[in-house]
């Protein structure tokens, strides 16, 4: 009898074919670049020792604003950032796993360290996806992502 009461309690949350599917929208993706701090001296662009930056490169930060529709996305959803840089044509993937249920307005931040930017160059194209159980719920790409022929669905 207890099982029947439980089944009746969750029945309104079910659609015609089962549970309500998880839904998400990506509202915005912002790329913030913090340039390497340099001082130009006559004849050369060098950094004096007192103004040197320890990281030696430009850092990049992606801020993804997204929305998880009600009743939310269960724990384990992934926010994936895929990037291609100027000097490295292969796709690099960064993942944020959501440890708890996602519902409503959400923000995910990806920090690309200066040493990665120095080695591979700045990000030239990107794609952000919200994924749950292997199913993409939302996708947003930069201009030129499809034209670059990544060969990735």
H/E element, 72: strand 59-73
Whether the predicted pLDDT of 5 surpasses 50 = no
Alpha carbon 100 to chain centroid distance?
A: 17
Rounded to the nearest integer, the mean pLDDT of the chain is 79
Alpha-carbon radius of gyration of the chain = 21
Contacts of 95 (CB under 8 A, 6+ apart): 78, 79, 80, 81
Which residues make beta-bridge pairs with 24?
68
Say which residue, 49 or 90, is predicted with more confidence.
90
- Predicted local distance difference test score (pLDDT) of residue 152: 56
Which has the closest alpha carbon to 139: 150, 151, 153, 123?
153
Residue 3 pLDDT exceeds 60: no
pLDDT > 70 fraction of the chain, expressed in percent and rounded = 69
| pLDDT, greater one: 109 or 57 | 109
pLDDT value of residue 19: 73
72, two tokens: 């939310």
**Quick one: which H or E segment has residue 3?**
helix 2-10
Percentage with pLDDT > 90 across the chain: 49
| pLDDT (0 to 100) of residue 58 | 74
pTM over 0.75: no
Predicted confidence (pLDDT) at residue 134 exceeds the cutoff of 60: yes
Q: Summarize the confidence of residues 58-73 as an average pLDDT.
A: 93
CA distances in angstroms from 130 to 63, 72, 91, listed in the order given: 14, 13, 17
Which residue reads 């080695």 in tokens? 119
Evaluate whether 107 touches 65 at the Cβ level (below 8 Å).
yes
């Amino acid at each position: 009898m207890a099982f029947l009461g439980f089944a009746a309690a969750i029945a309104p949350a079910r659609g015609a074919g089962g549970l309500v599917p998880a839904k998400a929208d990506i509202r915005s993706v912002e790329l913030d670049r913090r340039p390497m701090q340099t001082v130009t001296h006559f004849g050369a662009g060098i950094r004096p020792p007192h103004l040197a930056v320890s990281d030696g490169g430009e850092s990049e930060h992606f801020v993804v604003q997204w929305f998880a529709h009600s009743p939310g996305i269960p724990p384990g959803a992934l926010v994936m950032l895929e990037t291609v840089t100027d000097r490295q044509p292969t796709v690099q993937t960064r993942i944020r796993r959501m440890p708890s249920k996602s519902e409503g307005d959400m923000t995910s931040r990806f920090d690309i360290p200066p040493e990665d930017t120095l080695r591979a160059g700045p990000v030239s194209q990107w794609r952000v996806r919200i994924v749950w159980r292997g199913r993409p719920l939302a996708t947003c790409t930069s201009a030129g992502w499809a034209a670059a022929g990544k060969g990735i669905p």
